[in-house]
Structure 1
Amino acid sequence: MDLRELGYFVAVFEERSVSAAARRSFVSQPSVSTALSNLEHELGTKLFARHRKGVTPTAAAERLYPMALRMADDAKTLRSLFRKPEPKTPLVLGLMASLDIPRTLDLVAPLARDAELEVKLVSAEEPCDARIVSRSLRKKNETFVPLWRERYVVALPAGHPLAAKSRLRASELAGERVVHRCNCELGPRFTKGGRRPKVVAVAASEEWAVALVSAGIGIAFLPEGVVRTNDRIVVRPLADVVASREVGVAYDASTTLAPALERLLRARRLSA
């Protein structure tokens, strides 16, 4: 029995039309009609009643349909067992240390689910196809595609005297004990005009910075998207310092962006 003829039969059964089945199978209508005739001759029974609006399956076709589906699925399984898998396209993404995790996952997860891609995540300092970084970290030879903008906030221990205020001024932070982030882009903004908070710890990550603030070691200046508050920490905006950062995808300007990433960024722009 010809598996191709069975495939045409399944298409006609589901479409209830020879012409629609032909379009679905990307073949001519006579090819489908011939395949059905051959199948009916081989089985010795009529499979469809033809009329002006299409076809109606007979009782024989109703019995054959589930068996034809199983045979088609078994054939696909056999082919997949012995066919060499298509090589996946590698895509290496560099991530800077301080990122809004939910937003980053919204970008990375669809790429990781793409069966044609082999996604690898590395540090933004390692060789990669594209980097998710703040604009301030863009290299001179890179093109930058913006993704989102987020403001900086002050993270304070819940019992800190300034926690009672809804907004803070930079002058109020002078002399405060500060947990400094080793990859902080904001530091220079608080060393101007004599404002020099006292650095009591240097955190290698946002998680450590938040933990140290929660423990009462000091305060920290953090991008709003990386702070996960709890009952031991509060977050307050700055009233007199306009501080924000733009995060996006940076890639070598002499190359083209990976097609899968380009499609995803285009879809995000259209849905924005």
Structure 2
Amino acid sequence: MDTRLLRFFIAVYEQKNLTRAAEQCFVSQPNISNGIKQLEEEIGKQLFIRHKRGVIINTEAHYLYPIAKRLLGEITSLSDIFKEREFTDKITIGVAESLPQEHKQQFFRTATHLSDSLQWDVRPIGRDCEINLLVREWKYEEDLFLPLWKENYVLCIPDGHHLLSKDVIELEDLQHESFIHCPPCEAHKQCLSILSNTSKKSVTIANCATKTETLTFLMAGLGVTFLPEHFIDGWYGFQVKPYNGPRYFREVGLSYPRKSLKNPAISKLIDYFSKNTLRTKKFSEFGYYTK
């Protein structure tokens, strides 16, 4: 069916007048009349009753109108479906495992709004990336580093553990306890070093390659551990307890070689976060979010 006939029909239906419909379609009135007649012949139904002041809409026209609107709308937008959006800026970024969703989504939302048309190529952290979002200790030696946020590590005790009866956990309370460690993590290395120098040794129940694995052992109730405060949000099977002892934290930010600043999108990104902090929810020392 000729889409031109559908446009004529919609115009006549909406205007209820052939002259006004012709003006809307930028054609002559005879063209509109002939088009409606041709459409009526094709479907075998009379759509309008013509009179001096305009037209009367028949039941068949009421039925056809929403169908015609939908068909014409789909045909009109057909060409747009296959048009690829043109991005003026592109950033290849590596994102470290175990970073909190709240912080990542705020970072990407803010960064995307800095450019009119920015496309992300997201990969695991590596030298093939123009820029990496990671913990400071994981950056390549030659790269520059811009801190975005700092996360304290909190002491996590599994449900049912005898230490949960204490209001505050002391360093001495952790001696001889089963510990879940994450050797690649700088904070866990510090923790292990401190515990190893105490008179009563702690017991390492597991060495995990990632914080996600550490969390799994914690939720299984197999030992105590320290984890980043935002990383544990929303998980269950354990409690965060106030801890009176050495504090551990990690600093997360953007690591990048100087040559990456040749990318205007990255240059704009670095300039913005050099002057503005990443706005996220804050976490209290007892493990609850605050405004």
Output the TM-score relative to the length of structure 2: 0.58
Aligned to 2:197: 194
Which structure would you say has the larger Rg?
2
* Count of aligned residue pairs for this structure pair: 204
In 1, the alpha carbon distance for the partners of 2:246 and 2:254 equals 26
Task: Map Cα deviations across residues 131-164 of structure 1 (whole Å, 9 max, x no partner).
Answer: 1112222322111111011111111102112123
Task: Map Cα deviations across residues 73-123 of structure 1 (whole Å, 9 max, x no partner).
Answer: xxx979978988646543221122231221011112455686733312222
State the SS of the aligned residue for 1:132: strand
In 2, the alpha carbon distance for the partners of 1:176 and 1:213 equals 13
Aligned to 2:124: 123
Residue 239 (structure 1) aligned with residue 239 (structure 2): no
**Alignment RMSD:** 3.7
State the SS of the aligned residue for 2:254: strand
- Does the C-alpha gap of structure 1 residues 203 and 229 become closer, same or farther in structure 2, counting only changes over 3 Å? farther
What is the letter of the counterpart of residue 256 of structure 1? L
In 2, the alpha carbon distance for the partners of 1:166 and 1:183 equals 31
Question: Percent sequence identity over matched residues?
Answer: 23
- Does the C-alpha gap of structure 1 residues 85 and 162 become closer, same or farther in structure 2, counting only changes over 3 Å? closer
State the SS of the aligned residue for 2:261: coil
Aligned to 1:102: 102
- Does the C-alpha gap of structure 1 residues 197 and 262 become closer, same or farther in structure 2, counting only changes over 3 Å? farther
Residue 216 (structure 1) aligned with residue 221 (structure 2): yes
In 1, the alpha carbon distance for the partners of 2:85 and 2:248 equals 49
The structural deviation recorded for 1:213 is: 1.1
In 1, the alpha carbon distance for the partners of 2:138 and 2:153 equals 16
Q: Verify the 8 A CA contact 2:130 2:260 in the aligned structure 1.
A: no
Aligned to 1:137: 138
Q: Verify the 8 A CA contact 2:90 2:265 in the aligned structure 1.
A: no
Q: Verify the 8 A CA contact 1:213 1:233 in the aligned structure 2.
A: yes
What is the letter of the counterpart of residue 263 of structure 1? K
Q: Verify the 8 A CA contact 1:155 1:210 in the aligned structure 2.
A: no
Structure 1: unaligned runs, 5 residues or longer: 1-75
Output the TM-score relative to the length of structure 1: 0.61
Structure 2: unaligned runs, 5 residues or longer: 1-75, 280-291
What is the letter of the counterpart of residue 172 of structure 2? S
In 1, the alpha carbon distance for the partners of 2:85 and 2:252 equals 36
Task: Map Cα deviations across residues 208-256 of structure 1 (whole Å, 9 max, x no partner).
Answer: 3223212211112111121125452101243220211211111013441
State the SS of the aligned residue for 2:145: strand
Aligned to 1:183: 184
